[in-house]
Amino acid sequence: MESKKNLILITLLICFFFNCCVTKNDISGIYLNTINKTSNIDTIKIYKNGTYERFIYDKLNKKLIFKNKGVWKYNESKVILEDFLENYGGYSFENKKEDYDAYLITYFFSVEHSVNGLCLNFNEKMNHYFCKVGDIP
């Protein structure tokens, strides 16, 4: 029983340690949406200079349906994206700025380590994350 408690304690400490060790420099990179239930490929490119780009590509019609740029910050294990479209696969804009301006918000993502590596938690209940798939030179 004692060894089981120790194992749980060590696991919690390791998880805490890894989440605390994420720095602003670790955040920059290319992130891919983990939900495969939509017909879209949803990508965020986070740059070291404090900006980001988001692209939503419609796989069925083979076209870009959303592209946006904004600024980001890292604060206390949270990535904050300004002018972010909170999209669960339901919008199908044709990349016309006037179509989506009313839907842009400031969004707070918790930063987590998972089996997929570094991930931004978009909606934990829906198992919806943006996970880092590459670095930006």
Burial code of 29-61, b = ≥16 C-beta within 10 A, e = fewer? bbbbbbbeebebebbbbbeeeeebebbbbbeee
Q: What pTM, to 2 d.p., does this model score?
A: 0.77
Comparing 5-14, 32-41, 61-70, 74-83, which segment has the lowest mean pLDDT?
5-14
**All domains of the chain in start order, with CATH:** 24-134 (2.40.128.360)
Instruction: Tell me what percent of the residues of the chain surpass a pLDDT of 70.
Output: 72
